[in-house]
Amino acid sequence: MATYLEFIQQNEERDGVRFSWNVWPSSRLEATRMVVPLACLLTPLKERPDLPPVQYDPVLCSRPTCKAILNPLCQVDYRAKLWACNFCFQRNQFPPAYAGISEVNQPAELMPQFSTVEYMLQRGAQTPLIFLYVVDTCLEEDDLQALKESLQMSLSLLPPDALVGLITFGRMVQVHELSCEGISKSYVFRGTKDLTAKQIQDMLGLTKPAMPMQQARPAQPQEHPFVSSRFLQPVHKIDMNLTDLLGELQRDPWPVTQGKRPLRSTGVALSIAVGLLEGTFPNTGARIMLFTGGPPTQGPGMVVGDELKVPIRSWHDIEKDNARLMKKATKHYEMLANRTATNGHCIDIYACALDQTGLLEMKCCANLTGGHMVMGDSFNTSLFKQTFQRIFTKDFNGDFRMAFGATLDIKTSRELKIAGAIGPCVSLNVKGPCVSENELGVGGTSQWKICGLDPTSTLGIYFEVVNQHNAPIPQGGRGAIQFVTHYQHSSTQRRIRVTTVARNWADAQSQLRHIEAAFDQEAAAVLMARLGVFRAESEEGPDVLRWLDRQLIRLCQKFGQYNKDDPNSFRLSDTFSLYPQFMFHLRRSPFLQVFNNSPDESSYYRHHFARQDLTQSLIMIQPILYSYSFHGPPEPVLLDSSSILADRILLMDTFFQIVIYLGETIAQWRKAGYQDMPEYENFKHLLQAPLDDAQEILQARFPMPRYINTEHGGSQARFLLSKVNPSQTHNNLYAWGQETGAPILTDDVSLQVFMDHLKKLAVSSAS
Amino acid sequence: MSQQGYVATPPYSQSQPGIGLSPPHYGHYGDPAHSTSPPGMMKPAGPLGPAPPGGILSPGPPPPGPHQFGQNGAHPSGPPPQRFPGPSPASGAAPSYAPYPPSAQQSPYTGSTSTSSVGQLGSQLGAMHINSYGSGMTPPNQGSPGPLPAASLQGPPRPPQPSILQPGSQVLPPPPTTLNGPGASPLPPPTHRQDGPPGPPPPNAQYQPPPLPGQNLGSGYPPQQGNYGPQMAGPQLSYPGGFPGAPAQMVGPPQLPKKLDPDAIPSPIQVIENDRSAREGQVYATHTRGQVPPLVTTDCVIQDQGNASPRYIRCTAYCFPCTSDMAKQAQIPLAAIIKPFATIPSNETPLYLVNHGETGPVRCNRCKAYMCPFMQFIEGGRRYQCGFCSCVNDVPPFYFQHLDHIGRRLDHYEKPELSLGSYEYAATLDYCRKNKPPNPPAFIFMIDVSYSNIKSGLVKLICEELKTMLERLPKEEQEETSAIRVGFITYNKVLHFFNVKSNLAQPQMMVVTDVAEIFVPLLDGFLVNYQESQAVIHNLLDQIPEMFANSNENETVFAPVIQAGMEALKAADCPGKLFIFHSSLPTAEAPGKLKNRDDKKLVNTDKEKILFQPQTNVYDSLAKDCVTNGCCVTLFLFPNQYVDVASLGLVPQLTGGTLYKYNNFQLHLDSQQFLNDLRNDIEKKIGFDAIMRVRTSTGFRATDFFGGIFMNNTTDVEMAAIDCDKAVTVEFKHDDKLGEDTGALIQCAVLYTTISGQRRLRIHNLSLNCSSQLAEVYKSCETDALINFFAKSAFKAVLHQPLKVIREILVNQTAHILACYRKNCAAPSTASQLILPDAMKVLPAYMNCLLKNCVLLSRPEISTDERAYQRQLVMTMDVAASQIFFYPLLLPIHTVDVKSTALPTALRCLESRLSEEGIFLLANGLNMFLWVGVSSPPELIQGIFNVPSFAHINTNMVSLPEIGNPYSQTLRMIMGIIQQKRPYTMKLTIVKQREQPEVVFRQFLVEEKGLYGGSSYVDFLCCVHKEICQLLN
């Protein structure tokens, strides 16, 4: 058998699942002693070019409380045409269509290599996708122009039958009617008045004749463009109209006096967008795309007043409980987010401004609905333009890389219970036998709703082993988990992706080695980080750090090899060796540290951290650093100040930023213009190499990172210096007398100090 | 009648400190607490002064009861003692016949006088004409028998003399059938008579007396009814008594068949014609203080020589009594009807504009009056004394000028403000809102696009017409294009704003559905310059009818519409005018929602006033906001049923707008009338965001204001806008003695914004005489102005008091004014003489017309909306408009000289003036009727209607065919002249004699008894005479 590393990789590629432990401790007590919970990172829609969807409905276990889906782990009696559910052991008849199965004629879902199967459902009305643009008009002229162009361009990227709508806002909110000939028509709302969904629908004239519509709907799915058609129209019909309309879009015409912010009714605009979709297309795939260039300054959801002399809240204000409007605004947006999630729609936020735009308050809109959050300086930057364009990229099948209205249903075998999930989801509050009472993340349910997701959207799912210590699981027993993701594909089909995984149970006392060897420290780091970030949303920062530290110490105590009270004897096995380092960088990361970040930035970083897959998450925790020099090919180097050398070019990827840093000598050479001299062409190539690599990253990533090209002594070099391990600071620089590396002017502890402390604490018999 | 109870009560206008401190009954309609008046009335020795008319009644029995009218005597059923003290003939003599005791053999007021006069009122009245017309005029009744020349010619040669009814001088002969000449065929039997006389029928049916007022006069004037009705003792005595012309005492019914000859009583037409012949075509210079201008019906050239032209200001009296006691005694309302923006004919000089630059107008330091001809320069020109408050001010250095030998500034004739009665000042920033120059005003057109308006084609019509009308927005003469910006809103249950910015390819529509809290969704592009945005606007106007073509929305909102317009103007920081085209009761859920509350049961009750009040106070506060923001609302209503004009019309009224109403609008019939109105209204001369202040010299002051105005305090008249047709009536009261030599000065200053956005002050100055002789006062009165005042004050009172009370007050005050004259000014004569001051000769005639206006008539047959509408119209009328409104113009068409361009002489509004062979045109400022007699000459019918005979005339036409013959041309020219300068386009109705629509037409024959009640002029005059007699006793 291959190594665990290969096993893990193979499983990830096939199922999009990575567990913190790949061999599970067989009792509750042992599991808690493992410190890192049994958990997994699940990427429900992981791209599987090799996995064509099957064109029929899944076979469900007939037990009403189970309803697990037939999978390779089920016992099948081919002669009796029976199968036993591996979760509840219910024996089920195969449906008539399976009459012909035999050992040699198996349906795909029974083959072991198809632990993940995607079903294409045959029923259900197909509603076109809906894109509702909610556009701020309180922008600078060139910003607005750029945004208009981006939006116009996006029309060509949308599926032709997609419904599209436009709401603009400034001091007022305008809902544009798109089907008008000869005159452009819009419904206008006051930006200060909080309206209920019913009021909005009444005012937009969407109140349908309730009864007939309910009955008529299943019968005549053809008549879909009903009442809402005025505001949501198929792109192919109105793209000319809408292009013109967008073209004629003016800046908010209301005068803004000196010393004031423009009045921006983001709260009401979003509320109307939500109400509009809620009333017309509940439970269909829809994106509300909010483009805003500043903080909401009036009405419900107002984040800051219009007086410029009152600055927008900072972390300092929040800690001092000085953010007067924050709670109210947050409540407003949470209410909207929950309503949106209930309706299965998602909200994207594209916020481009130099100052904060209220992402802190609005974050739940994107977080709870699986929408995107993009933060930039201006709509007139490639960061926004590229990012926005990337939303509409297509996969190998030519389908949009987005899915809607998903529900994730998790079944576990009896020894396990579900503790919770962390990711862009909301609980559906489905209690069941496999739901744990202990919550980690969003818990208390076995089903979650993920209104918008893409192939990289990843959830952290936390489990609890409930098997009692005195009721051991027989040797060789396996625990199983089934993830059922029911979603609307971008081609508007309903699909179900079923992933069934199983892992061996092991007795932690006798087989600790096995368990240890099956530890996935990368997944564990990310899963612990998610827990930490989740806690940070509601707890004080220092408490979270202490909790993380304690967990780390306990883990080292459990799995380290050492002699008591002898720090120097401390060793960690290979499968754990990187974990403390991840924790060190996590502690310094913007996800847990708010220093030097605005509340909006923190929200933005956390948003992305809670949804990216493992690789990206690790980059976020511990940025990667490449070195380019004449001494050899490009190589990854330690994220350490000692890596900053004069004759190197460094490329750092923090996920949010790509930094190219020229060492002192290189920078001087470049200044001297050597790269332009034919005899120094190799220098030119050296300069070019990191640029090319950076481009490659920029091309692929969503959202597009901020691209920073700097050099030794440049002001932007701070992006690099703040990330590297401060192994050399002004405190210890001369102690060693070394010349390598660049000292970092910080009082932060370095990784070495951190490790020293860790060892000391781990081996201490006192704790 | 118990009017004498009123004798001592304050008249309409004069507050009477003498009557205790309680608010005078007349002046304060709303005040029921007139209980203190009886003392004054009952006790002549009271503070009322030497000779209150009622004084003679002194020891009358106490009022019958505590009920309110008992005190004033005007209660319907009150026993008569108080009215008929002493002999109490009315009761004692078993009153002859119902309405008019004077004709009884034992007339109460004649009780103590000669027996010969008893019951001779008829003859007196009959003789009246002799005196009143004798003065240089041809008596209309030339055919009347001999008595004319015989006896009563004392009066005639003295034109200014009052008309005197000589008692006993004339016994009214039975009117010969030829009395009225050719046209005077017997009166058609009044179709409206409901009950015949209970006594023997009159021998001569042709002379049927007017119906019994007491019985079927309806609400003509209840006092009469009230008092006399009960007194009708026996059948023989209840004989039609409107008709006091019994020549003999104790005549039995058979002897009283004769009706008082209408031609024998003062004729409004005659008065008008007299003034015309005396002054028409002349130049009237305003140099003299207190001179009485020509009547409004007389056309002459007016030259400003120091007093404002009567086109701007007319007064009820041009000589004020010196003391308040005198004023109380006479009870003549002292009022001015000011029309600050009156249109001036092209042959008169327009107003000069005075610009003092940054210093602004020169004003008195104390009273802030503006520099005017009444300022007296002294000390060699260094100082001047204010004519209003007598304060001595320094002349500002820049304004200094030396005086000439008569103490006049050398530049007297160079400066309009020193030599003219009317002129304008350029206002400085101090006179502007927020000290910023105002923006040019804006017009917003707001079209109701609910189902009915779409279906009737109205929306299309409006949109089509606006395209051409917008070309003609008013502009300053020197400007090339109008500075006025325009905006458009359509609405039904929700509002649609339109962005018509010039750089748009197509208009943008913005729907605002939040009618509960309406707001303006856009700023830029809503109000635009028409020339710049013409293409977009035309595009929009083309699209509006189609856009809503399939709408089936029936419900509308109204208050939010006004609110939206007002907010739009506010946001744009400019004054402006809203043109609202509305058709239905606003029943949609929104502020100002109305319900149908038209309750005929309220008519004729104390609650009737509710029908005239707005349903909710939303409109009141809305109006206030509109005025604050300089937002004038003009409303075009197209009702098919009750729309609650009283509520909808409130904002237009208070904001200086106009209300137009087109009942059951039909496109093919009514569009011309509507379009003319709309066109005129758009083009009208108008000032915005105006504040008017009326200053007076010491001794009196302006106390009450009527018109399309809003007042936040007692002195500043605020008007969102005021146009050339709107007049404000201002009432004055004494607060001190006036000096005969200083006279009474009035300065009316209107601060406003012009159509191009300039801030201006328009000043009108008028000087009046003062006299301690009542005769002088009576001589200087103007009846047309009096009626204007009475109408407005009564119509205002309608909101607060029962109509019956108002009618009583009007009758009483009329009687009182005349009685006072009789008592104090006329040569001594028998009490039973009816003597009318020359200037008020036709006051009873006009007063009767006012009393029978549908507003004051409590009759369920008249639509509530129509009454509310007319009530509102009258409130802003000027004197000319109220004159023709209350006394319509009746012109014979068949006798017109087709070669002349002048109007034919008008006829009195009497049925007897019509003839079967004739065609008559009647106009009252709102309606025009062409009455065609059954035997009209066919050539005339052919000429006018282009049809061969009477039978072929189609009465559905609303305009006459344009035919090239002289008849048609002349008639259409006449109609054109009548229509000219009238604020409302009159709708033409063709009335064929003896066809159904004639009923409507006959209502306008105001000297006749009204269809829905209201007495004839003759009856009313008798009634007034009786009142006077009572007062004199």
Tokens representing A278 are 């809620």
A190 CA: distance to closest CA in chain B (Å): 7
8 A C-beta contact, residue B781 and residue B817: no
Cα–Cα distance for residue pair B689/B721, rounded to 1 Å = 5
- Does the pLDDT at position B154 exceed 90? no
pLDDT, tens digit (0-9, with 9 covering 90-100), for B953-966: 888 888 888 888 88
Q: Residue B911: its pLDDT value, please?
A: 87
Write the residue in A183, A188, A193 that is nearest to B506 by C-beta: A183
Mark out chain A residues that contact chain B at CB-CB < 8 A. Answer: 172, 174, 180, 182-190, 193, 202-205, 244, 248, 250, 253-255
Q: Residue B42: its pLDDT value, please?
A: 39
Contact residues for A285 (Cβ-Cβ < 8 A; gap 6+) = A127, A129, A130, A344, A345, A403, A404, A405, A488, A490, A492
Tokens 């829809």, located at residue: A286
Q: pLDDT > 90: what percent of chain B?
A: 51
ipTM value for the complex: 0.85
Q: Which residue intervals of A454-588 are DSSP H helices?
A: 512-517, 521-538, 541-559, 579-588
Q: Residue A208: its pLDDT value, please?
A: 56
pLDDT, tens digit (0-9, with 9 covering 90-100), for A355-391: 999 999 999 999 999 999 999 999 999 999 999 999 9
8 A C-beta contact, residue A68 and residue A77: no
- Does the pLDDT at position B182 exceed 70? no
Tokens representing B977 are 């002249």
Tokens representing A633 are 């090919």
- Does the pLDDT at position A141 exceed 60? yes
Nearest to A425 by CA among A371, A369, A372: A369
Q: Residue A738: its pLDDT value, please?
A: 52
Cβ contacts of A183 on chain B, cutoff 8 Å:
506-509, 539-540, 543, 547
* Mean pLDDT of the residues in chain A: 89
Tokens representing B321 are 């009594």
- Does the pLDDT at position B38 exceed 50? no
Cα–Cα distance for residue pair B804/B225, rounded to 1 Å = 11
B751 CA: distance to closest CA in chain A (Å): 30
Chain B: residue whose CA lies nearest to A169 = B521
Cα–Cα distance for residue pair A25/A19, rounded to 1 Å = 13
pLDDT, tens digit (0-9, with 9 covering 90-100), for B292-343: 999 999 989 999 999 999 999 999 999 999 999 999 999 999 999 999 999 9
Nearest to A755 by CA among A509, A589, A577, A592: A577
Report the run of H or E that residue A461 belongs to, with start and end: strand A459-465
For chain A, how many residues are written? 767
Phi (first) and psi of residue B584, to 5 degrees: -135, 170
Mean predicted confidence (pLDDT) in B905-931: 91
Mean predicted confidence (pLDDT) in B387-404: 93
pLDDT, tens digit (0-9, with 9 covering 90-100), for B1012-1030: 778 889 899 988 988 888 8
Contact residues for B683 (Cβ-Cβ < 8 A; gap 6+) = B472, B473, B474
A286 CA: distance to closest CA in chain B (Å): 25
pLDDT, tens digit (0-9, with 9 covering 90-100), for B415-434: 999 999 999 999 999 999 88
Q: pLDDT > 90: what percent of chain A?
A: 62
Nearest to A273 by CA among A360, A358, A362, A212: A362
pTM of the entire predicted model: 0.81
Q: Residue A535: its pLDDT value, please?
A: 93
Cβ contacts of B525 on chain A, cutoff 8 Å:
253
Residue B506 to residue A182, Cβ atoms within 8 A: yes
8 A C-beta contact, residue A556 and residue A572: yes
Q: Residue A427: its pLDDT value, please?
A: 94
Task: Report the Cα B683 to chain-centroid distance in Å.
Answer: 24
Cα–Cα distance for residue pair B748/B598, rounded to 1 Å = 40
- Which 70-129 residues of chain B touch chain A by CB within 8 A? none
Residue B4, judged by CB atoms within 10 A of its CB (0-12, 13-18, 19+), counts as buried
Q: How confident is the model at residue B202 (pLDDT cuts 50, 70, 90)?
A: very low
Angle between helices A266-280 and A359-369 (to 10 degrees): 20
Cα–Cα distance for residue pair B548/B956, rounded to 1 Å = 31
Residue A193 to residue B514, Cβ atoms within 8 A: yes
Considering only CA atoms, give the Rg of chain B.
29
B543 CA: distance to closest CA in chain A (Å): 8
Other C-beta atoms within 10 Å of B799: how many?
16
Q: Residue B981: its pLDDT value, please?
A: 79
Mean predicted confidence (pLDDT) in B638-658: 93
Mean predicted confidence (pLDDT) in B504-512: 89
- Does the pLDDT at position B951 exceed 50? yes
Tokens representing A757 are 């402390």
Residue B506 to residue A202, Cβ atoms within 8 A: no
A595, amino acid identity: F
> How many A/B residue pairs have CB atoms within 8 Å?
64
Chain B: residue whose CA lies nearest to A173 = B521
8 A C-beta contact, residue A572 and residue A560: yes
Mean predicted confidence (pLDDT) in A268-276: 94
Residue A186 to residue B547, Cβ atoms within 8 A: no
Contact residues for B287 (Cβ-Cβ < 8 A; gap 6+) = B305, B306, B307
Output DSSP code: residue B543: H
pLDDT, tens digit (0-9, with 9 covering 90-100), for A273-325: 999 998 888 888 899 999 999 999 999 999 999 999 999 999 999 989 888 89
Residue A253 to residue B525, Cβ atoms within 8 A: yes
Tokens representing B156 are 């005639």
The set of long-range contacts for B953-956, using a CB threshold of 8 Å and a minimum separation of 24, is B953/B990, B953/B992, B954/B990, B955/B989, B955/B990, B955/B991, B955/B992, B955/B995, B955/B997, B956/B669, B956/B990
pLDDT, tens digit (0-9, with 9 covering 90-100), for A199-240: 888 888 876 544 333 333 443 334 444 445 688 989 988 888
Residue A188 to residue B522, Cβ atoms within 8 A: yes
Output DSSP code: residue A383: H
Tokens representing A519 are 């530890």
Chain A: residue whose CA lies nearest to B511 = A187
B629 CA: distance to closest CA in chain A (Å): 20
B508 in reach of chain A (CB within 8 A): yes
* Mean pLDDT of the residues in chain B: 78
Mean predicted confidence (pLDDT) in A43-62: 90
Tokens representing A531 are 């827990």
Tokens 């049916």, located at residue: B205
8 A C-beta contact, residue A102 and residue A38: no
Cβ contacts of A202 on chain B, cutoff 8 Å:
513
Nearest to B658 by CA among B342, B880, B925, B875: B875
Mean predicted confidence (pLDDT) in B935-945: 89
Cα–Cα distance for residue pair A673/A684, rounded to 1 Å = 10
- Does the pLDDT at position B15 exceed 80? no
Tokens 């890596």, located at residue: A643
Q: Residue B19: its pLDDT value, please?
A: 37
Nearest to B982 by CA among B883, B902, B898: B883
B71, amino acid identity: Q
Q: How confident is the model at residue A188 (pLDDT cuts 50, 70, 90)?
A: very high
Q: Residue B959: its pLDDT value, please?
A: 85
pLDDT, tens digit (0-9, with 9 covering 90-100), for B251-291: 333 333 345 677 778 899 999 999 999 998 899 999 999 99
- Does the pLDDT at position B922 exceed 90? yes
Task: Determine which of A281-285, B139-143, B225-229 has the lowest per-residue pLDDT on average.
Answer: B225-229
- Does the pLDDT at position B133 exceed 80? no
Residue B61, judged by CB atoms within 10 A of its CB (0-12, 13-18, 19+), counts as middle
Cβ contacts of B540 on chain A, cutoff 8 Å:
183
Nearest to A137 by CA among A166, A179, A158, A157: A166
Q: Residue A740: its pLDDT value, please?
A: 58
8 A C-beta contact, residue B747 and residue B695: yes
Write the residue in A186, A204, A253 that is nearest to B509 by C-beta: A186
A298 CA: distance to closest CA in chain B (Å): 15
- Does the pLDDT at position B115 exceed 70? no
Other C-beta atoms within 10 Å of B946: how many?
15
Q: Residue B66: its pLDDT value, please?
A: 39
